[in-house]
Every structure is written in structure tokens, then in C-alpha cells.
Structure 1
Amino acid sequence: MKKWEEIYNYLLDLIMENKVKAGEFLPSESKLRVKFKASLQPIRKAFSVLIADKLIIPVHGKGYQLINSENNKLFSFSYLYPNAKSIYKYLGKQKVDNELMKKTHFYYEDYVHKIEVKRYIGEKLYIYQISYISDSLLKRELDIEFIQKNGLMKFFTTSLKSPIGFAVKKISTSLKRELVDYDIDEIKSENLILDKGLLFSLGQQLMEYRESYYNEEEFEWSFIEYYR
């Protein structure tokens, strides 16, 4: 990992973990130079990427300020629903065949990790999710216990070789239950919302493909996950 990527991930963690709030300033260039034993070039590169991500703005004489806009934050499910819980189940590592390649857009014969996620609000299953994560972009072994404790987004920011760049979504409405490949009896609806997501690195490499299923009657889309 390049030095600027290490600094970028550190700053992004501060934002995602709410250690720096909207309107507050990120650590100064001088503090980052000491912490990372780095020159100004990688530090300013990290800040420039955060500016391009529309997460911060430079303020003359003060530093870099977190933008006060709900639409410009990197959202996770736990951020949107702090009282909710997610249950993660590791379904194994598999080689991408033709069918999976067409479905997920990962390269043929690459390896991916498959994870099942059930997201609850109270006792009700709100989202059923299947995620495929690129094995080649991981810098350490996939740790399902870490994911259960910290969430997928935290895992991505600490375990991938390249910083997160952007996400693409496609939402299908009124998907008939019989067309769904998975057994989701806990969602009591004949029609489901299918949310397909692709997560890319800054270098535009595919990191994750996910399918999320919602109860049609309870689905509401009112935020932008990755705004660039």
C-alpha cells in the first residue's frame, strides 16, 4: 500500500467512525507528518482524494473541514440505523465461473468470498443480503469475526489493498418472490425490492458485488451512499 493510501484510509476511518463530525477539522498536515513519518506530498494527495470524494473542503489558514451535508457521508447500515443489528455468515470461497461472472462482473476464474448478511431492526428482518468480495484485493485473510464485530464497511477500509472509490447501484421494483434464488421466509411479502450494488476501488477495480432484498412495503430510498 502506498503511503498516501495509508493516510487516506486513516482519515476515512476517522470520518466513518464519527470521530470527526461535520464542521470539524481533520488532523493537520504537521500532525500527519509526525504520525506517518511522511513528506507533505502523500499527505496532500490523501486530502485531495477526500476533496474529490466531496467529503471535505480546504479552509485557508485552518486546514481541512468535514462537509456538513448528510448526502456526502459514506453510509453504513449501522450509521443509518444505530439500534439495528446485522448477522454475518461466511459461505465460503469460490472460483468465478461463467454464470457467476455474468452475474457479478468479476473476472472469470478469479476467487471471491461469499457472505450472507441478515440486517434486523428490532426483531424484524429488514434486509437480506448476499455479498461477493474479491479475494485478490484483500491484503489479509477474510475474518468473519472481525466483520461481525465491526461491519463490512470497516472491514473494507482496513483490509483492502486499495481505498474505496465509488459504488454503483441498480434497484429493481416488485420482484416476485418465486424469482428469488434464496429462501427468505423471514421477509413476509410476495414482492421484494432487489438492490444490486457494485463497489469499486479508486483504481476502478471491482471490490464487491452485493444483492440486497427488501420488503416492498417497507422500502424507502432517501439517501445517496457514495456521492462524487
Structure 2
Amino acid sequence: MKKWQAIYEYLIGLIHNNIIKDGECLPSENNLKVKFKCSVQPIRKAYFKLKEDKLITSLQGKGYIPYKESTNVLLSFSELFPNAISKYKYLGKISLTKDLKIKTNFLYENFVHKIIVKRFIDNELFIYQISYISDYLLKTIIDIDLINKKGLMHFFNNCLKYKINYSVKQIITLKKEDIKDWNNNIFVNEDNLILDKGMLFTLTQDLVEYRESYYKFKNFKWSFIEYYK
């Protein structure tokens, strides 16, 4: 491991483990020079990479602090819909075929864990979701009882090697007849659906989960705030 990478992972650990509190600065260049017995170049490269990854921001005359953003907050489904019920079914650890690697973007893993989720609001199926979860990033086995009790995001927050950071989404419309991954007993009276494709990443930009969430047209609403920078 190169020196700047070791410094980068050290700083990631300080952020991930909440050692740096709100408003506190990360270690100075001088402190890191002493700790890692190195010149200033690898330190600046590590800090540059953290800024590039939008994990830190700089305070003029003070140093670097963990980045805080009040918009586009990544919330769990239960936080958005506290009265909803989610039923999770674990389908096991599966091998990644070439086609599945391309589909899910798990290009450098051989196995993933597959989970089916049915989310209900007022006893009506609201979302049907297929999730593929990294095997490499888990530090414990899949506990489906815990997931059914606390939710998938709770499991991720407590059972991954690294902290969750952000998600990437693509939202499209499609005909139900074109869906090959599940049978036609889901959303029986619907001909067209909304598909929300999502990828969840850690602080270290490793892919944790690829998911496909299917909605009825009438149940889908997308609201957000856009800021000019």
C-alpha cells in the first residue's frame, strides 16, 4: 500500500468511527508528517482524494472537517413511511454469472446475496424489490430475522466493513411483460411499472448493494430540491 493510501484509510477511519466530532478538524499536515514519518506530498494527495470524494471540506485558516450536507439525505424506507410493513425473504448466496455482473455492476466479486422485499402500505403492495448484496463487504452473516425486524439499512449500518455514504439511482418506465426476474403474480392488474434502479456505496466507494424497486404508476412520486452552485 502506498503512503498516501495508508493516510487516506486512516482519515477515513477517523470519519467512519466518529472520532472527529461535529465542527472538529481532521489532523493537520504537521501531525500526519510525524505520525506517518513522511513528506507533505502523500498527505496532500490523501486530502485531495477525500475532497474529490466529497467526504471533507476545508475551513479557511483552520483545516479540514467532515463534509455535511443537509439535502438529498439517504433515508431508509421505514423512515420515509413509518407505518409501512416490509417483508424480506433471503434467497441465499449466489454465483455471479457474466450477465449478472454486468447487470449489477459487481464486476470484481464472485458471489452476492439475494434478497426479495415486499413493501406494503395499508395492506397494499407498494414496492416489489430485488436486492443483490456484496459478500466481500459483509463482516457478519446475513441475519434475515434482524433484517425483518429492523430493516436492511439498519443491517448495513451495523454489519458492513465500511460506513454507507451515498446511492446512485436511475428511474425508468417499462412494460410488465418485459420483466424476466419474477412471475406475473406481482401487481396483477398492472401493464406498466416504474423501475427504480439503485446502487449503494460505502465511504470507500465500494458497491454494497444493487437493487431494483418496482412501483405501480399511481404509487410513484419523486420530490427533490435542486440547488445552484
The TM-score, its normalising length taken from structure 1, stands at 0.69
Rounded Cα–Cα distance in structure 2 between residues aligned with 1:150 and 1:3: 30
Give the equivalent residue in structure 1 for 2:82: 82
Q: Residue 131 of structure 1 aligns with which residue?
A: 131
1:75 Cα deviation (Å)? 0.9
- The structural deviation recorded for 1:208 is 0.5
Q: Quick check: 1:218 aligned with 2:226? A: no
- C-alpha distance in 1, partners of 2:73/2:17? 16
Q: 1:108 to 1:5 in 2, by over 3 A?
A: closer
Task: Give distance in 2, aligned partners of 1:168 and 1:115.
Answer: 19
Q: Unaligned regions of 5+ residues in structure 2, if any?
A: 1-8, 25-34, 36-46, 60-64
Structure-2 separation of matches of 1:5 and 1:110:
26
Deviations 1:141-178 (A, max 9, x none): 111111111101111111110111211101112x1110
Gaps of 5+ in 1: 12-25, 30-40, 59-63
Partner Cα distance (2:184, 2:119) in 1: 12
The aligned counterpart of 1:157 is 157
Q: Is the alpha carbon distance of 1:68 and 1:194 closer, same or farther for their aligned partners in structure 2, counting shifts above 3 Å?
A: closer
Aligned to 2:122: 122
State the distance in 2 between where 1:116 and 1:8 align: 32
Identity %: 49
For residues 204 and 17 of structure 2, what CA distance do their matches in structure 1 show? 18
Q: CA deviation at 1:183?
A: 2.1
The residue aligned with 1:95 is: 95
TM-score in terms of structure 2 length: 0.68
Q: Hey, what's the Cα distance between the residues in 2 that align with 1:159 and 1:139?
A: 6
Kept in 2, the 8 Å contact 1:128–1:214? The answer is yes
Who is 2:179 aligned against?
180
Classify the secondary structure of the residue corresponding to 1:217: helix
Q: Whose radius of gyration is greater, 1 or 2?
A: 2
| C-alpha deviation, 1:218, in angstroms | 2.1
Give the RMSD, CA atoms, in angstroms: 3.2
TM superposition shift of 1:115: 0.0
Report the count of equivalent residues.
Answer: 184
- On the 8 A contact 2:72/2:224 being kept in 1, the answer is no
Alignment of 1:1-228 (within 5 A): 69=70, 71-107=71-107, 110-173=110-173, 175-181=174-180, 182-183=182-183, 185-187=185-187, 188-223=189-224
Counterpart residue type for residue 179 of structure 2? V
Q: Could you report, residue by residue, the CA deviation over 1:68-122 in whole angstroms, capped at 9, with x for unpaired residues?
A: 95x3432111111110010000011011111111110112551100000000001
In the superposition, relative to structure 1, how do residues 155 and 109 fare at CA in structure 2: closer, same or farther (>3 Å)? closer
The one-letter code of the counterpart of 1:81 is F
